Amino acid sequence: MSHQTNSSAGLTGTADSSLSSSVGEHPNAITNRFYTYERVEEIVGFIQKLVTTKPEIAIICGSGLGGLAELVTDKIVVPYADIPHFPRSTVVGHRSNLVFGNLNGLYVVCMQGRFHPYEGYTTATCAFPVRVMRMLGAHTLIVTCAAGGVNKGFSVGDIMLIKDHLNFPNLAGNNPLIGHNDERYHLFPGPRFPPVGHAYDRAYLLKMKEVAKKHNVELREGVYCGLGGPCYETIAEINMLRILGGDAVGMSTVHEVTLAAHCGFRTLGLALITNKCLSDYNTTYEPVHEDVIRISELKANELQQLIFDFVGFIKDHRT
Question: Is 96 labelled a binding residue?
Answer: no
Q: Which amino acid is at 301?
A: N
Q: Is 289 a catalytic residue?
A: yes
Predicted structure pTM score: 0.91
Q: 12 pLDDT exceeds 70? A: no
CA angle 282, 287, 290 (to 5 degrees): 150
Structural contact between residues 238 and 119, judged by C-beta atoms closer than 8 angstroms: no
For 20-316, the fitting CATH number among 3.40.50.1580, 3.40.640.10, 2.130.10.10, 2.10.260.10 is: 3.40.50.1580
Arithmetic mean of pLDDT over the chain: 89
56-65, 224-233, 259-268, 269-278: segment of lowest average pLDDT:
56-65
When pLDDT is cut at 50, 70 and 90, the band that residue 16 belongs to is low
d(CA 253, CA 308): 20
Catalytic residue from among 208, 275, 296, 300: 275
pLDDT value of position 293: 82
When pLDDT is cut at 50, 70 and 90, the band that residue 24 belongs to is confident
Catalytic residue from among 32, 63, 104, 175: 63
HSE-CB at 215 with a 13 A cutoff on CA atoms is 17
Question: Is 279 labelled a binding residue?
Answer: no
Question: Is 38 labelled a binding residue?
Answer: no
Q: Is 18 a catalytic residue?
A: no
Share of the chain above pLDDT 90, in %: 72
Q: Is 118 a catalytic residue?
A: yes
Q: Is 116 a catalytic residue?
A: yes
Question: Is 252 labelled a binding residue?
Answer: yes
Q: Is 251 a catalytic residue?
A: yes
Q: Is 63 a catalytic residue?
A: yes
Report pLDDT digits (tens) over 246-289. Answer: 999 999 999 999 999 998 999 999 999 999 999 889 988 888 88
d(CA 283, CA 304): 33
Q: Is 186 a catalytic residue?
A: no
Question: Is 202 labelled a binding residue?
Answer: no
d(CA 267, CA 257): 7
Catalytic residue from among 3, 81, 118, 186: 118
Report pLDDT digits (tens) over 77-134. Answer: 999 999 999 998 887 655 799 999 999 999 999 999 899 999 999 999 999 999 999 9
d(CA 107, CA 96): 20
d(CA 306, CA 215): 8
When pLDDT is cut at 50, 70 and 90, the band that residue 9 belongs to is very low
Catalytic residue from among 69, 107, 116, 151: 116
Q: In terms of Cα–Cα distance, which of 254, 262, 236 is closest to 166?
A: 254
24-28, 77-81, 232-236, 283-287: segment of lowest average pLDDT:
283-287
Catalytic residue from among 133, 252, 261, 262: 252
Q: Is 252 a catalytic residue?
A: yes
User: Can you say how many angstroms the Cα of residue 240 is from the centroid of all Cα atoms in its chain?
Assistant: 24
Question: Is 220 labelled a binding residue?
Answer: no
The more confident residue out of 100 and 191 is 100
Question: Is 115 labelled a binding residue?
Answer: yes
Structural contact between residues 272 and 144, judged by C-beta atoms closer than 8 angstroms: yes
Q: What is the mean pLDDT of residues 300-309?
A: 92
Q: 166 pLDDT exceeds 90? A: yes
Catalytic residue from among 119, 133, 147, 255: 119
Domain map (residue ranges) of the chain: 20-316
